[in-house]
Structures are given as C-alpha cells and as structure tokens.
A and B are shown apart, each in its own frame.
Chain A
C-alpha cells in the first residue's frame, strides 16, 4: 500500500491577519508557520495509523512550496512518513498546486492520496477535487472516517446534517477532517529520525495559473456591543424581535 499525504504550510491559528504592498500581500512579519491542522491532525495521523496496522505500507509526503517550507515538511516527517517530496514552486493558484501534486501522484503510483479538508489561510477546499480529476480517480471529500479492507475503502463523509458511509475501490483521493484521527505530538525518536529521512526537491512542471489574487481586504469593524443587564434578559428577546428583527 502506497499513501501520499499532502502537507501545506499555514500561519498559526492565532496569527494576526494584516496585509502589505497596497493590500496585495499577506504580512508575514512575526508570523509563526505551522502544518495546516487538517493535514497534520487528520491526514497524516490516519496514514500513520494505517501503517501501524500494515507494516508494508509506505507513506510519502508532498508539499508544493519554496525552501521556507522545509521546516514544516521536516516537522511532518517527525510525526511519521518515510520520505518527503517538495515541489519547488510558490503559488496560491489551486489548479497550479493541484497539477504539481497530481504529477507527483502519477509518478509514485499511490493507492491513496490524502489531503486536508481545506487550508486555514486560503480556504480553497479545492486541491483534493482537482487532483482527483487530474488523475481521473474517485474523490471522497470531507471524510471523518477511513478504513481499509484489502483494496476496498470504507469511508464516512459529511453530508448536510449528518454523515454517509460509502465504499470505493482503490485508488482513491480523500480529503480529511475531524473524526478521522486524534492529533499526536512528535516524540524524540521521531524528531531525530526525521533529520535523516529523504527530502527530495524537484522542479515544477509547466502549468498556467488560472486565477490570481488581485487584493485583500479586512472586514469592517463591529459597531460595538450593546450590553443588556442580567436582571432583565427578556430585554434581549425584545431587541432581537423589534430591533434586529431576527426572531
């Protein structure tokens, strides 16, 4: 079994969001970078669990990013995974990134490609579907559970107001979210071992970006909170009914 896990780099969840260059670039000063939580907590940990059950499983990690992504991919290797591939390109266009990942996936003939439900910075939720289409493979998105029985995967996925169980034969592309696995922290052995695991850097294939970020904008500040005394909570109900007209 060969698994490819997509790893992306995102600002820490508490990072201050600000922009520079006339609101065209994310202000990176002082930003801590982390592995996108979905990639780390769900995709990677589930892949590691599958390898723990079947030692013949091989896990490769892929990231599309410049050299400043190396610490992130090393951190992912410290959690688990056998080797990593970094495609040396910096892009925010989903189709460009997906094309690079699909190329790596084709070369390695992976049975499963895991990615996170979305990146917490650009919120595309797009890479998974695009990679699946480029590979012409089935895609199960927003998965909360993934089990293997031979070459058939049983997957739970989110639907509006609930979940669905589905079955699909490998190969498959899956986007993961909460429920899939429990977050882990790397141990000393993992951290030491990650230093010697192969991290291959390869150049991107030529692809045209289909979109471009023209500018960013911060939402307008809230007008301020209207406080209601705890002695008269019914006043809140009146305001929601008469002023906000919501109930």
Chain B
C-alpha cells in the first residue's frame, strides 16, 4: 500500500503545483496510514532527493529522453505500471494542463475512480469522499469514490504544503514506451509568471478602452511580480493574447490576489476568478456587479486611480 504522487516538470524544472501535490499526497498517506512515493518523467535539473522535505520517502525517476515532453498515452502507461508495482491505492496529480491529460487516462487504465478538481483532503471517516469545484467555481460537490484505487487531481493553489525536512531515496525507473505525439515547437512567453501558477494577477477589461492603455496594467504586474489577465471581449478584440482570457470559456484561476480593472464582473467572467482569495475591483460604475464579489473596491476612473496605485506600490517596494 502507498500513495503515488505525479511530479510534473517543464523543461527540467519542477512546477510549483507539484510541490502542492507532494504535500497533499504526503498528508493523504499520513491520513490512511501508509507511505508516500512520487514519480517524475523526463530529464530533471532540480534536486529530487530534497523533495523528501514534503514527506515523500521514495521518488521513481523515469529519465528516458523520449519522456522529456508530455505524451498522455505514454505517461499514463508508465505511471499506471509504477502504481501497480508500488501497490498504490491513491494516486495524486495536479489538475493542471498535464494532469488533466494524464489523470483521466490513468483512471480509465486502472479502473480507479477519479476526482478531478479536488480542493481539500479526502474525508475518510465514512468511505472515501473528496470535495471538488463544480459549476465553474459557483459550487462544490463531495464525490464518493467506490473503487479500491483512487485517483485525485488537485486544483492548483488550493493546498498549502507543509515542509517537514528529510530526503527521499531516488530510484531510476526503466521504461520502454514509444510516445506517438511529437512536439515540434514551443511558444512560451518568457520573463512573465504563467497565469495558471501566479499568486497575484492584475486583469483588465473593456473599461481600459484599447490595447495602447495596457502599460499601466503591465507596470503594476511587474511591480508586484504578478501575471496579467483579461476579460473575454478584450481577448476577442485581440487587445491581449488569448491565453490571458479568464472566465467560463477561458482560463480558470485561483490566485491569492486578483485585481480587476475596468471589468464589469459578468457571471461568466466571475466563473473563472471567483476562487481567488482576495479580489480588488476598480471600476468607475458604482453599480458594477463585480463589487458584490470583491473584498476591496474603488469607484473611480482607472486612468486616474491606477497610476497613483502604481506610484504607491513603487514607494512600498522601494523601487
């Protein structure tokens, strides 16, 4: 018996969401009285043994070169086989882009019930029940898993891992899979925090009038080390790139702080951001629906208010 955690990496670097699942998986292992092990695929530059500080005892590393980029079919096969070899009864993934591709395949392969989008530790007092987000952030469901093996995909930014100290034993895992999906090009926005991993997000809507006015949004994001986002009409009008679009039909994010500037707060926009811990709304219309979902609000013209905010942050940061 064990808990097996999938560590997701990109270009050899372990993703932030992987630390969350490591801590989460270790907590699940403690809860059900077993040990936590982890698996990582592809070449990794970061030190794996030190991940023991999150509470995992062993890390299986399949470092075949053909696993450097994610192929859901090959990854699922390797992970499912490792799960069987280690006798895992719970598998933990991040519900990030890769987790969404791999976890369902592993679930189907092992006939193991999946909870995708988990937001809390399982309740094992009566069966195995996991809380997850449903209705695009507007509600939660408690899902009861009926199978001997369980698969959990944890929503990013919904679990704070505890660091305990300790090192993990790293063992090499031989594989013989042949990925069929070939990655031919990667187009990553460099020098910016990826939106899905960002703890702070500054977002702009149609109230900003045009792409030429995004300088003040970018300034604030830069000062805070935040990512930038936008409402759908802004992406539709090509003022901002598609991947910045958040909401029901765009990305769904859960940062610690979401600053919305010139966004009305339509229900479809809120669906993508209402899991944010603190929401700040800056809008010139006191009736804007966003204020109802906000923690802090300023009724005012963004073109007057935002430069002053940027100045205050600059002072605060001593920049």
* Chain A residues with a Cβ under 8 A of chain B: 11, 13-14, 17, 19, 37-38, 41, 94-95, 98, 120-130, 132-134, 136-142, 144, 154, 157-169, 177-179, 208-219, 222-223, 225-230, 233-234, 236-241, 244, 246-247
Contacts of B188 in A (CB 8 A): 159, 161-162
Most chain A CB within 10 A, of B15, B267, B295, B297, is at B295
Contact between chains at A210 and B249 (CB < 8 Å): no
Rounded to whole angstroms, the CA-CA distance of A167 and B305 in the bound complex is 47
Partner among B15, B139, B146 whose Cβ is within 8 Å of the Cβ of A211? B146
Task: List 9 contacting pairs A-B, 8 Å CB cutoff, sorted by A.
Answer: A120-B135, A125-B116, A128-B104, A139-B101, A210-B111, A211-B143, A214-B144, A222-B295, A237-B309
Contact between chains at A166 and B114 (CB < 8 Å): no
Chain B: CB-nearest residue to A120: B136
Residue B293 CB within 8 A of the other chain: yes
Contact between chains at B146 and A159 (CB < 8 Å): no
Which residues in window 163-206 of B have CB below 8 A to A? 180-189, 192-197, 200
13 additional A-B pairs beyond A240-B296, A246-B256, beta carbons within 8 Å, are: A123-B134, A126-B116, A129-B107, A130-B108, A132-B73, A142-B100, A161-B193, A167-B182, A178-B242, A212-B143, A225-B294, A226-B295, A230-B304
How close is A237's CB to chain B, nearest CB, in angstroms?
Answer: 4
Contacts of A165 in B (CB 8 A): 183-187
Most chain B CB within 10 A, of A41, A125, A141, A211, is at A211
Chain A: CB-nearest residue to B123: A214
Main secondary structure of the interface of B (DSSP, over half): mixed
Partner among A14, A94, A142, A233 whose Cβ is within 8 Å of the Cβ of B312? A233
Rounded to whole angstroms, the CA-CA distance of A227 and B306 in the bound complex is 15
How close is B181's CB to chain A, nearest CB, in angstroms?
Answer: 5
Contacts A120-B248, A129-B72, A133-B109 hold; do A230 and B257 have CB atoms under 8 A apart? no
Partner among A94, A178, A218, A233 whose Cβ is within 8 Å of the Cβ of B249? A178
Partner among B134, B181, B187 whose Cβ is within 8 Å of the Cβ of A162? B187
Residue B97 CB within 8 A of the other chain: yes
Rounded to whole angstroms, the CA-CA distance of A65 and B283 in the bound complex is 43
Rounded to whole angstroms, the CA-CA distance of A123 and B195 in the bound complex is 19
* Chain B residues with a Cβ under 8 A of chain A: 10, 15, 69, 71-73, 76, 95-97, 100-109, 111-117, 129, 131-147, 180-189, 192-197, 200, 224, 235, 242-243, 245, 248-250, 256-257, 267-268, 271, 274, 278, 280-281, 291-301, 304-306, 308-309, 311-313, 316
Contact between chains at A122 and B134 (CB < 8 Å): yes
Contact between chains at A129 and B280 (CB < 8 Å): no
Contacts of B268 in A (CB 8 A): 13-14
Partner among A17, A166, A177, A208 whose Cβ is within 8 Å of the Cβ of B184? A166
Rounded to whole angstroms, the CA-CA distance of A130 and B103 in the bound complex is 9
Contact between chains at A95 and B189 (CB < 8 Å): no
Partner among A38, A98, A136, A226 whose Cβ is within 8 Å of the Cβ of B297? A226
Contacts of B280 in A (CB 8 A): 236, 240
Contact between chains at B194 and A161 (CB < 8 Å): yes
Contacts of A144 in B (CB 8 A): 242
Contact between chains at A237 and B299 (CB < 8 Å): no
How close is B76's CB to chain A, nearest CB, in angstroms?
Answer: 6
Contacts A230-B299, A247-B313 hold; do A125 and B100 have CB atoms under 8 A apart? yes
Chain A: CB-nearest residue to B127: A214
Contacts of B141 in A (CB 8 A): 122, 213-217
How close is B72's CB to chain A, nearest CB, in angstroms?
Answer: 4
Rounded to whole angstroms, the CA-CA distance of A209 and B111 in the bound complex is 10
Contacts A141-B97, A211-B114 hold; do A162 and B189 have CB atoms under 8 A apart? yes
Contacts of B281 in A (CB 8 A): 225
